[in-house]
Amino acid sequence: MSAVGRRPHSSAAEGVWRLVDPKITMASVASLFLGAAAAARAGPLSWWWLALTVLAVFFIEVAKNASGEVVDFDSGADAAVAPEDRSPFSGGKRVLVDGLLSRAQVVAAAGVAYRLAVAAGMAIVLAREPRVLGIGAAGLALAFFYHAPPLRLSYRGLGELAVAACYGPLIAVGAYLVQRGEITADVVLPSLPLGLMVAAFLWINEFPDCSADRAAGKRTLVVRLGRRQASRAFLALVLCAYALVLLLPRAGAPAGVVLGLLGAPLGLRAARRLMAQHQSTAAIVPAQAWTLVSFLLLAAGEGVGLLLR
């Protein structure tokens, strides 16, 4: 059904659903699970504070999606994605391009979500753990300036690094700090390969958008390197992530974290597909899904491994 033919309430509900985007939110869930598993290894969890931590991260996710939607719409990046390059995992949320919500509504959604994230975060800071303030502030800043000026991280080839930092150490360490009141190697070390694999997921999602991003001046690393070189770099990311998992026990991490290697076969399968067919969005879509499952298995394996005594 076209945008014109949709009922207004149905259109708005779909727009909100796209801003929430559960499949992408799984990246933060994976990191939260890893942080909570590491904390549970050290002692009992406070489920109330864990729930509030999850809510704070969730609201940041929605706020980032909404504010980023506005920036990418204004730059023309989302509208420039050709129909044959549209993918369930890339091309933006297309809330504005498809006319599901107005620009004012998306701006309002971003404002509400950022305020709710701050409220949840400040409740944790004031009543539970003051030192989480720095982590929360860094997360908010990276979420907003991932798209927005003046930093525009994703437009300057820094978005991949920001994503690796946020969805690896930042969220996992923050969740651990709220629970345990300290930061230890048990959570920092396993979060590093997770950050690399989440960055790999963003990396492969940039391929279908490459032409549109280049036209809009969005200089992602895939745009800068070109598809062929970027496909090889994707393989390097996956190899580094899983090699790091294998080496973690030597660095002092619990031996069980090597269960994270469960995700390696799908990550390598995605890399092979991307290197062979980096020009075809239709061929890349399954590899995007394999990469998503790869980092979820990595997080699940490491988390379960941390809970084993």
For each of the domains in the chain, give its residue range(s) and CATH number, in order of start. 8-307 (1.10.600)
Distant-in-sequence, close-in-space partners of 7: CB < 8 Å, separation ≥ 6: none
The residue among 154, 135, 157, 156 whose CA lies nearest residue 144 is 154
Distant-in-sequence, close-in-space partners of 306: CB < 8 Å, separation ≥ 6: 34, 37, 38, 40, 41, 186, 190, 254, 256, 257
Residues of the chain with pLDDT > 70: what percent?
97
DSSP assignment of 81-136, as one string? S-GGG-BTTBS---TTTTTSS-HHHHHHHHHHHHHHHHHHHHHHHHHT-TTHHHHH
Query: What average pLDDT does the segment 20-26 reach?
Result: 85
The per-residue pLDDT for 292 is 96
Residue 147, number of CB atoms within 10 A of its CB: 24
Q: Tokens 């598809």 belong to which residue?
A: 227
Residue 174, number of CB atoms within 10 A of its CB: 29
**What is the rounded distance in angstroms from the CA atom of residue 50 to the CA atom of residue 58?**
12
| Average pLDDT in the chain | 94
The per-residue pLDDT for 8 is 57
Phi, psi of 90, deg, nearest 5: -150, -175
**What is the rounded distance in angstroms from the CA atom of residue 258 to the CA atom of residue 193?**
11
pLDDT digits (tens, 9 = 90+) for 246-300: 999 999 999 999 999 999 999 999 999 999 999 999 999 999 999 999 999 999 9
Residue 112 pLDDT greater than 50, yes or no: yes
The per-residue pLDDT for 5 is 44
Residue 9 pLDDT greater than 80, yes or no: no
Query: What average pLDDT does the segment 204-211 reach?
Result: 96
The per-residue pLDDT for 11 is 87
pLDDT digits (tens, 9 = 90+) for 136-163: 999 999 999 999 999 999 999 999 999 9
- 248 with 228: CB under 8 angstroms? no
pTM for the full predicted model: 0.93
The per-residue pLDDT for 91 is 86
- 163 with 222: CB under 8 angstroms? no
Window from 2-16, 220-234, 273-287 with minimum mean pLDDT: 2-16
Q: How many residues does the chain have?
A: 309
Helix (H, G, I), strand (E, B) or coil at 158: coil
